[in-house]
Chain A
Amino acid sequence: MQANRQLNLLPDRDTEPSDVFQQVTLGVAYASKLLDRFPGATTLPEPPPFEVGKLPVDVYRRLLECIDLIRQIAGNSGKQMLELDVNEAHLDGIVPSDVYHIAALAVSELAFLHGQLADADAPRTVYYVGRKFPSHMYQRTGLLKRQLVALERLSKGGHDWLAQSP
């Protein structure tokens, strides 16, 4: 009954920036677990400064950069990821639900890499964050990007980092 209720509520409920924020935060949790495999690496770098006036499309672009980095990390690690080719013309009229889908894709790719780790700990649970704005999403995506840049640099060392125990 409860599942049915939630399913019925789905069409009524728009995706909100807070959903994207939670999804990206889950990505941060996965990325920190991946960075944890490199001794001495900073698992949570300082987030970029908060910038007001950001739009969902800005977050979308930053998430595309994140997905590109994840693909490079996967390539460095001998894994393959989906190629995502987004036409610039399609970026007009991006809404939070589009951003949510791209964030979910980034998180699922990170979850795949995390799943390849030997003795992987589960990432931290992410809880409901309350009301958020696209600028919050943009800042949080910036934190994820910083993690991924570090991970891309570290993963260049070879394929075996995924198989190494912490």
Chain B
Amino acid sequence: MNSPQHVTTKAPKRPSLRGHLVRSHLAIAGIGLVGLALMLVLVVWARGHTLRLADLRGPAVRDSTLALAGVQRSLASLRGWMVLGDQSYRTDRKSAWRDEIDPAIANLRMLSARWDNDENKVRLTSVLTLREELKEAQWWIEEVAHTPGNEPARVIFAQELAPVHETIVATTNALIDIEKEQSESGRRPLFAAMADLARSHAQARASVVEFVDEGDKVRLDDFRTQREETSRQLGVFDRSRALLTAEQRRLFEITEAELPTFYAMLDRIIEARQSAQWNVAQHRLAEEAVPRARAVIDLLRAMTADQDRLISIDARLVTATRNIAAVVSVVLMLVFGIAAWFTSVSPARRLAKATQRHTRLFKNRSW
């Protein structure tokens, strides 16, 4: 039988059992550490993308969508105010700017410091400029929409034409009243001319009123006909001037002097009504507010679409990273198992042999 000293004297030819055990345990721990480090890298990578989704991409989409909705709401409220004149639409427009557009754009400005997409930064700069222009354009439209000046043709009508019209009506009525008292024969055509003059004058004005109300150009044809009729009646008067009384002549001269002014004003009213700016608020809406709102909407939509695309990319990256992490975990489990098997079997076998030998020696001694 070999003594224990004999066993230890043979041992230096092979690595000691202690060294073998240390190496096998360190190998297992090393593989575990490498696996954990790999998993940590994957988790940090996924965390970075998840945080970017939660803190940057998501809020950017939310804020650009909120600003977009705010611009549309402000425009809808402005149209509501223009059409219905209800004060609640003004309040609503202000609220769209105060609660939606301004805070959303302020948030986008903050977020833009962390954007890596230069195109979106340029878009945001354009949005900032257009926002101020749009806000101002809306303010001016809201201001003018329900003032008399919104339709300049009506202001000329009320402020300038009315006194001239009243003068002509008063003088033609006075002419007719005096004529009623004249008893000489042969004045019938003159009386008819006075009545026709009064009628054609009133009808010319009425045609222009209808044109201003409806914008129907047929009324302009009526107006031109009545204007010619008035000129014809003035000719009749002029030819019958000798038949007029002194007072009638004075009244006729007033009418004759006022009529060119009256028709010049009607021409101005027609011109103002035919102009593109006949309704100032509508014109400003079409020329200033709507194009700017469309430009802002297009920019915000492009930003939203871009952020959506980036969200999809980030989401795919996070999913891919997690899938890789899952695969790596499975591979590590297998590698860990195989490595544990190979690194544990040999030392275990040697440990078992040594233990058996010790046991046998112990039993022999006892005997």
Contact = CB atoms under 8 A, between A and B. Distances in A.
B132 A128 contact: no
A110 B128 CA distance: 26
A39 B129 CA distance: 8
Contacts of B129: 39
Contact of B149 (A1, A2, A128): A128
B261 A43 contact: no
Contacts, number: 40
Given A43-B132, A44-B136, A127 B149 contact: yes
Interface string A35-60: 01001111110000000000000000
A38 B143 CA distance: 24
Nearest to B158: A128
Interface in B124-162: 128-129, 132, 135-136, 139-140, 143-144, 147-150, 152, 155, 159
Given A32-B136, A43-B136, A128 B155 contact: yes
Contacts of B155: 127-128
Given A40-B128, A43-B132, A43-B136, A127 B261 contact: no
Contacts of B147: 127-130
Interface in A1-51: 1-2, 5, 25, 32, 36, 39-44
Nearest to A132: B147
Q: Size class of A's contact patch? A: 10 to 19
A39 to B, nearest CB: 8
A127 B150 contact: yes
A163 to B, nearest CB: 20
B136 A127 contact: no
Given A1-B260, A2-B261, A44 B128 contact: no
Interface string A122-135: 00111111100000
A44 B149 contact: no
Interface residues of B, number: 20
Contacts of A1: 260-261, 264
A6 B148 CA distance: 20
B260 A127 contact: no
A153 B148 CA distance: 36
A95 B116 CA distance: 61
Contacts of B128: 40
A39 B131 CA distance: 12
B261 A5 contact: yes
B280 interface: yes
B261 A42 contact: no
A36 B144 CA distance: 21
Contacts of A2: 261, 264
Interface in A73-117: none
Nearest to A127: B149
Q: Give the most central of A1, A43, A124: most B CB within 10 Å.
A: A124
A25 B136 CA distance: 13
A44 B260 contact: no
A89 to B, nearest CB: 37
Interface of B: 128-129, 132, 135-136, 139-140, 143-144, 147-150, 152, 155, 159, 260-261, 264, 280
20 contacts: A1-B264, A2-B264, A25-B143, A42-B132, A43-B132, A43-B136, A44-B139, A124-B140, A126-B149, A127-B147, A127-B150, A127-B152, A127-B155, A127-B280, A128-B148, A129-B147, A129-B148, A129-B149, A130-B148, A130-B149
| 9 tightest A-B CB contacts, nearest first | A127-B149, A128-B149, A129-B147, A130-B148, A128-B155, A44-B136, A130-B147, A128-B148, A44-B139
Given A127-B144, A129-B147, A129-B149, 13 more contacts: A1-B261, A25-B143, A39-B129, A42-B132, A43-B136, A44-B135, A44-B139, A124-B140, A127-B147, A127-B152, A127-B280, A128-B155, A130-B147
